[in-house]
Amino acid sequence: MTPLLILVGAYLAGSVPFGLIVARLAKGIDIREHGSKNIGATNVTRVLGAKWGVLCFVLDVLKGAMPVLLPNVLLTADDPNRTHWQVAAGLLAILGHMFPIWLGFHGGKGVATALGVVVMLANPISTVITFGMFITCFTVTRIVSISSIGSAATFAVSQMCVLWPQPFREKTWSVAAFSLAVPTLIIVKHRSNIARLLRGKEPRFGSKPPKDKNSDEDPAPPSSHNG
């Protein structure tokens, strides 16, 4: 029963659509009908301004970090699988953000939520390298999607280097699997951004979002926008 509580609790925490909630409370709008139509912090910043974007970012990071603590509360300190359950909780929180049940499984890209999980679980060296890559890419390009994709790939490589030569040994196999699976998910969720990058139409941070029919970043179907 305890593992089920951890997994369900983590998914439900991650599925809270803070971008949608913040936009509703701040401006009375459905963020899925504005900008890139994504519920993440980048679009909230673009549509509502930096103050609300930062709030959304912090909340999305926290909903990734907090579920990782669930196994610490529900399992004993000497449980040999506690680390694996922490990884599972982090993964479910990210999946909750990407595929929230409340929005017809159409959520965000998972970058901020993944950051919260990474801070709690990953090797600090990998975390610093990944953050440095994001800052470098963003400084050079001013494009959030390139920065997110680049930092996701960097995280996977740096984690494998840190865990080498036996990344999938008994105590670390779940961390290693997480370090490969989550970056892959994040990159796949950026497929519409990649298409725009290839067409030279991906907007830089602070510019207006694209207006073409492919501007939606995995929006919910129209029927789920009601109410």
pLDDT at 218 over 70: no
Q: Is residue 171 part of a domain?
A: yes
Q: Is residue 225 part of a domain?
A: no
pLDDT at 167 over 70: yes
Q: Is residue 40 part of a domain?
A: yes
Q: Output the pLDDT for position 206.
A: 75
Distance from the first to the final alpha carbon of the chain? 35
Q: Is residue 170 part of a domain?
A: yes
Number of structural domains the chain divides into: 1
Q: Is residue 65 part of a domain?
A: yes
pLDDT band at 220 (very low <50, low <70, confident <90, very high): very low
Q: Is residue 121 part of a domain?
A: yes
Note the pTM of the prediction, 2 decimals: 0.89
Q: Output the pLDDT for position 211.
A: 53
**Residue 53 lies in domain:** 2-100+108-212
Instruction: Read off the pLDDT of residues 80-120 as tens digits, 9 standing for 90 and up.
Output: 999 999 999 999 999 999 999 999 999 999 999 999 999 99
Q: Is residue 84 part of a domain?
A: yes
Instruction: Read off the pLDDT of residues 16-54 as tens digits, 9 standing for 90 and up.
Output: 999 999 999 999 999 999 998 999 999 999 999 999 999
Q: Is residue 227 part of a domain?
A: no
Share of the chain above pLDDT 90, in %: 85
pLDDT at 213 over 90: no
